Structure 1
């Protein structure tokens, strides 16, 4: 090769660089480079030389491009091309070193720069992968934090609702005590609860008034129970009883009792469903005057329609035991909230529906409540009303309604056995030999095991799960069942942590305020700290609403506990055929997945936990109902609050035992059966 100057050297290498540029532009990654090969040579010569030194494949493609081009620089250019496009990297580096002499050694430096750039790219890729992993973790953490935040907000909203409820109840009580009639009724009830003794509070009140105890009671009774009009006193009472709901079905209990121009209802409950409905034939009660509604107990199927009644009839009296008078407003406020939520849900889909009542109606009904202690006669127009203990739940009462010498006894929901929260029924003399006994028949076809055996079964099942380190969810009805189970566990398993959630916790606090002996939140029992304890509470028992898993916090707990092999879900009460609780029971033992559905969508979880039932009915069974019928020994017995086929069979049993039965329909005193 002849000696050449810098200009001649550039002329000789130019065709090679152009061929390399064409080879580079063939690559898909060349999108950001100048598309003109001459411009690429001009702007990126060091890069092209470095690529020439590193990549044999690039040299082969460049040789192909060069073979199709005419080399005009003579032998020097052809010889230089043979060196720079040689298959051996060493030959190429030597050629590059020869054509770029001097202290700069541009090609070698470009080669080193390219290697450093490649290493830097590799490090950046590694850092990118690390950053991507951290981002994925951060996103998962953000989703979990968002979920926890939503749960916390929900829990705070529940606490605010509880605080609002307490504030409303306080305001209601304050307004009640400013009402002269309510104040007189409360004072009369307090004095009557103290008994007929002429000492104590009654004597003090008489001394303060400068009169006798009998006169004090007479004045208060005159205020609370004004004398009926003379026509009602002289007229033939003509006692009449008409079932308006909850007769051949369960729910919407309502009984119209009328005599001497006075008409009262015993119970006014809601029929279950979405939306809830009033008693089936309530219109028959509203077609004339109505003086009062006597409520047997605070379950919604017996009292849930009362606010709708008082909203339409502001003068309507509401009589109940002191405990029921306190519990009902809590139930009404929750029902009003659920009705409003359902209406909002329907509105989102363009639907409409009638809301039976709102929070203001519930508050107004609460102010109408008159406390009537057990065993104290209270006059309502031409009728006299007396309540007696019915067992079942705290404050539950049976009712004796008297019109002249005619009497009807109504059991309401009744049980003869002692529970943790309440004793059994106590039939008064005023009920014995009544003209008519209206008796519930919820469990008239069942013979329950002894209560001690049922309690023992629950205790052993819970203890077994907790000893294994698992946790138990017991979905329970908010009023009665939840508090009963909590007190059973406190008595028999005091070392097992128990958490009470949802409305069940609110009502447990009301229980404690009504009866200091019913201490639900003691020792290892507490209100659930949701959402924190949904995952943090690992061993123990959660008692939560709703009892049929139709909604509420019980669903949140179930979603977490059902997938746990060491956990359990014990359903503690009646499960409607269409309820999620019944569907879960049908799945029990088969394995598989269970889907919860609500307005937010669907959530499916595997069922690995034990699923079973806990039988702790608060209703009298067949034998218990027969005992009650025998004890009251009424002239006729009407069965309500049950299933027709079972009622028919039980009525036959009553007749075999010598009882005369009346059909579940309108009844008149003295009318032929």
Structure 2
């Protein structure tokens, strides 16, 4: 069996890999790189050498794992697409939104290649979707050369890691994983038996968590910060990713109100894609493995969520919570507009980060800034002065490096492929695995190179 990375760039981005034998071929994920545009954002599908692919596994619905699935299927229309039922719905919504974003970029930035696919194509490729439940083995090709089993990855709704068995070899691909319980998402449940090869994410390899960190305490500090802003007649802007982080934050706010940590009548606004994603979360409230079973955000919380009650732009009022995308506050998004049009310059307000923001994005620049600094949130508009309160809270959907290393030690792979991490993150894992598991071969896969398993 051969493993090959189809990634176009090192680090986190257009995630895609292939496992192949002489008679069968399976691809893992079909990501789009968030920092690149056009063809530079697409994995090296040409590395498949024109061979027919039997199937592709999508581990979850973030764009860096599913964003170029339609492009992949343009060249491999016969391939079956295996994913969880939750991922199928979330990915469809994400890809339709991606078409809209690409169409806008074509006009604004003159990217002639965009959109890479159309809404019509997305409707057609759904015929290729094969949804599978967790812990239920299934064939990945017609001859049964490859067998797959999904396991809950704890990252977002529907996220999975996958065991792949072939030729008496066992390979495990983590996808994106979180072993810790979150507000809504329960921690990953991965098999702990020995494997021949482990393909493992290394996202947080450069970050050592404070040993005093406690999730409940972090949430309560978040609640206290919100209460203080509301108390001084300000509003709280929480930049969130529409899928995953929005629903985690809503789960926290629900608890805060129920326990009297923030005023029960505080209006909460979400909107746009966040509302669509929350509708999907609600549809799986009784069947997915999660905390708050049967709880439906749009029915059981009083949200200002783009329903018939409210049409038009989201209004900005004092004393409210705004959980708005994008999480990195990219230009032309609702969170960026709110920050630029009133939040950033007013000392009464609070801007609270609950997830990762790339240093090059507007959100990343705010996180690094000091009070009184002038910040360019959108080059089309004048800079804005940072006067509001800013806080950063650790509610990452990715496991700590220590938790992932502990898992690696349990499964003691013969080979360990380090993926989905920047250079420093990968280097930390390589050093620790080499020290702790001297019999494990640690590989940082080069795109296009065949590695024998």
TM beyond 0.5: yes
Contact 2:103 2:114 in 1 (8 A): no
Are residues 1:619 and 2:382 paired? no
Higher mean Cα deviation, 626-635 or 405-414? Answer: 626-635
Are residues 1:440 and 2:201 paired? yes
Change (3 A) 1:248 1:406: same
Q: Distance in 2 between matches of 1:273 and 1:664?
A: 21
Q: Distance in 2 between matches of 1:515 and 1:336?
A: 28
Residue in structure 2 matching 1:490, options 254, 258, 265 = 254
Residue in structure 2 matching 1:546, options 306, 310, 326 = 326
> How far does the alpha carbon of each residue in 1:399-420 deviate from its partner, in whole angstroms, 9 at most, with x for none?
1111121111000000111122
> How far does the alpha carbon of each residue in 1:126-175 deviate from its partner, in whole angstroms, 9 at most, with x for none?
xxxxxxxxxxxxxxxxxxxxxxxxxxxxxxxxxxxxxxxxxxxxxxxxxx
Partner residue in 1 for 2:171? 408
Contact 2:415 2:443 in 1 (8 A): no
Contact 2:102 2:114 in 1 (8 A): no
Partner residue in 1 for 2:441? 661
Partner residue in 2 for 1:527? 305
Shift of residue 306, structure 1, vs aligned partner = 0.4
Contact 2:29 2:65 in 1 (8 A): yes
Change (3 A) 1:354 1:668: same
Structure 1 portions without partners, runs of 5+: 1-238
Change (3 A) 1:379 1:312: same
Residue in structure 2 matching 1:369, options 105, 129, 135 = 129
Change (3 A) 1:595 1:645: closer
CA RMSD of aligned residues (A): 2.1
Residue in structure 1 matching 2:245, options 468, 477, 481 = 481
Change (3 A) 1:588 1:337: same
> How far does the alpha carbon of each residue in 1:35-93 deviate from its partner, in whole angstroms, 9 at most, with x for none?
xxxxxxxxxxxxxxxxxxxxxxxxxxxxxxxxxxxxxxxxxxxxxxxxxxxxxxxxxxx
Shift of residue 307, structure 1, vs aligned partner = 1.0
Partner residue in 2 for 1:578? 360
Change (3 A) 1:435 1:246: farther
Contact 2:3 2:19 in 1 (8 A): yes
Task: Say which SS state the counterpart of residue 367 (structure 1) adopts.
Answer: helix
Q: Distance in 2 between matches of 1:561 and 1:240?
A: 52
Shift of residue 465, structure 1, vs aligned partner = 1.1
Partner residue in 2 for 1:453? 217
Q: Distance in 1 between matches of 2:335 and 2:97?
A: 16
> How far does the alpha carbon of each residue in 1:269-321 deviate from its partner, in whole angstroms, 9 at most, with x for none?
00113525444432102521111110100000001110111233322211001
Structure 2 portions without partners, runs of 5+: 259-263, 287-293
Partner residue in 2 for 1:647? 426
Are residues 1:346 and 2:125 paired? no
Are residues 1:465 and 2:229 paired? yes
Change (3 A) 1:646 1:346: closer
Task: Say which SS state the counterpart of residue 172 (structure 2) adopts.
Answer: strand
Contact 1:444 1:622 in 2 (8 A): yes
1:55-454 aligned at under 5 Å gives the runs: 239-245=1-7, 248-273=10-35, 275=37, 277-285=40-48, 287-347=50-110, 352-381=112-141, 382-428=145-191, 432-448=193-209, 449-454=213-218
Contact 2:8 2:41 in 1 (8 A): no
Task: Say which SS state the counterpart of residue 596 (structure 1) adopts.
Answer: coil
Shift of residue 531, structure 1, vs aligned partner = 5.0
Question: Which structure shows the bigger proportion of residues in helix conformation?
Answer: 1
Q: Distance in 2 between matches of 1:644 and 1:577?
A: 16
Shift of residue 330, structure 1, vs aligned partner = 0.3
Partner residue in 2 for 1:499? 269
Task: Say which SS state the counterpart of residue 315 (structure 2) adopts.
Answer: helix
Task: Say which SS state the counterpart of residue 287 (structure 1) adopts.
Answer: coil
> How far does the alpha carbon of each residue in 1:467-526 deviate from its partner, in whole angstroms, 9 at most, with x for none?
222110011111111111111111123413211122112111111012143422333433
| TM-score of the two chains, using structure 1 as the length reference | 0.60
Task: Say which SS state the counterpart of residue 162 (structure 2) adopts.
Answer: strand
Bigger Cα Rg: 1
